[in-house]
Structure 1
Amino acid sequence: MSTLLMEAARAEDAALTLAAQQGEASALGLLLERHRPGMRAVALSLLGPGPDVDDVMQDAALAALRGVGEVRDPAAVGPWLRMVVRNRCRKVLRSARRTEPVEEVPLPPLLTTPERVLDGHALRDWIWTAVEELSPALRLPVVLRYFSTGVSSYQQIAEACAIPVGTVRSRLSQARTALVRTLEATAAGGHEDTRRRTAASWLEAHETLAAAERGEFGKVVADRYSPEVSLLSGRQRLGGTGLLLAGMDLDLSAGVRQRPAHVIAGRSLIVWEMDLINPPDAPDHCPPGVAWIMTLDGGRIDRVSLYHTPRPDPVREDVAA
Structure 2
Amino acid sequence: MAGFHPPTGPTDEELTRRAQAGEAGALGLLLARHQAPMRAVALSLLGYGPDAEDAVQEAALTALRRIGDVRDGAAVGTWLRAVVRNSCRMRLRARRETPGLDGLDHPHLRDDDPWQPEQVVERHAMRDWIWGAVEELPEQLRLVLMLRHFSGISSYQEIAAACEVPVGTVRSRLSQARAKMSQALTATATQAHDDASVRVEQSRHEAVATLEAWETGGLPREICELWPAESEMIGMLGRPGERVHPVPVMRRYLEDGVRQHLRHVVAGRDIAIWEMDVTHDGARHVCPPAVAWLMFRSEGRVRRLRVVFPRPPR
TM-score, length basis structure 1: 0.48
User: Relative to total residues, which structure has the larger helix share, 1 or 2?
Assistant: 1
Structure with the larger RCO, 1 or 2 (CA within 8 Å, 6+ apart): 1
TM-score, length basis structure 2: 0.49
